[in-house]
Structure 1
Amino acid sequence: IENHLDYAEELARLQIQAHEANLAAEKYGFEFSNATAEMLHQAGIKTRRNLVLAAGDPASSTVSTGGVPADPEH
């Protein structure tokens, strides 16, 4: 359950961060480049995917965000 909360918190943090960055950019008359917008979008997708993986994990094992299963002993 703790892993589920960690991923949900990380997703919320990324969404808030992206929103705040967009507001700041608008305030000062800047726009994100397409590359930056895509990077933020991909980070959100990756976080959501990891959240789904963790939620579907009956053993509640740790899911690495790097694509390699985390070693729970380290």
Structure 2
Amino acid sequence: MRKKLKETRIKKNIEVKEIARKLKISESYYYKIEQGKRNPTITLAKDIADLLGSTVDEIFFDDNLDETSKETA
């Protein structure tokens, strides 16, 4: 799930320091979200997706949907 978040951030060439500053959260908190150790609020997830030019579903849920569909196939 978080793999997509990190990949998107890297593709957009945005450093953790910059994204954390724009979101008004600590860098360590953002890292924990990327590592799957913390779950963002819905509002924060939307803000992250907006900042990365994506959607909440694409960043936080698409990988899980792919995994689920593989398991049932």
Class of the TM-score when normalised by the shorter of the 2 chains = 0.3 to 0.5
Larger Rg: 1
TM-score for the superposition, normalised by structure 2: 0.36
Structure number with higher relative contact order (C-alpha < 8 Å, ≥ 6 residues apart): 2
TM-score for the superposition, normalised by structure 1: 0.36
Higher helix share: 2
